[in-house]
Amino acid sequence: MKTAIVASLVASAAAFAPAQTGRSSTQVNAWISDQVGITPPVGFFDPLGFSKGKDDATMKYYREAELKHGRVAMAACLGWYLNAGGVHPAFNSALSNDPLKAMVELPAVGWVQFVLGCGAIEWLGQQIKERPGYNPGDLLGAAYWVDNSDEGWVQYQNKELNNGRLAMLAITGMIYQDVFTGEYGDMMYRQLVR
């Protein structure tokens, strides 16, 4: 388990490597010119070259995955601190305050509910994607009322993407510290300040 966490941290550390400059495909360049999420100071960020030679459908799939993972990570960060603070929405707060221990202590019926709930949300998301004019991540249909010509809407989307990117790194760090130091709550960084 520790090896997997270290590997994921190394992979996320690649996010801070300088972007390679050079020629890229015209398909990606066309996609870059009008997409949300390409913000300063980084701009278009693809240090591992996942977007090289990809068509629009693949790039939209990548954006959909980035939004989904970012939203889940933002919820995970909130849930982490609520759980560490002693707030448990189920089982009369009988589970551990350590989120990783609480995950192990969760009864099988809780896991079944979790998996079925996630499956229902995934199924609903797949159904919504079938509608005409669907934009990646737009599960509520905001694209029917506003488009990317509205500066406020573009700023909102950029904020969501950047907060999601930060949350993905944050939850990785929280899990790492819990596994390797045993600290999980508001004193998580106490070993750095000693």
For residue 87, the model assigns a pLDDT of: 80
Judged by average pLDDT, the poorest of 6-20, 51-65, 92-106 is: 6-20
For the segment 58-71, the average pLDDT, to the nearest whole number, is: 91
For the segment 7-17, the average pLDDT, to the nearest whole number, is: 48
DSSP per position, 29-87: HHHHHT-TT-BTTTBS--TT-TTTT--HHHHHHHHHHHHHHHHHHHHHHHHHHHHHTT-
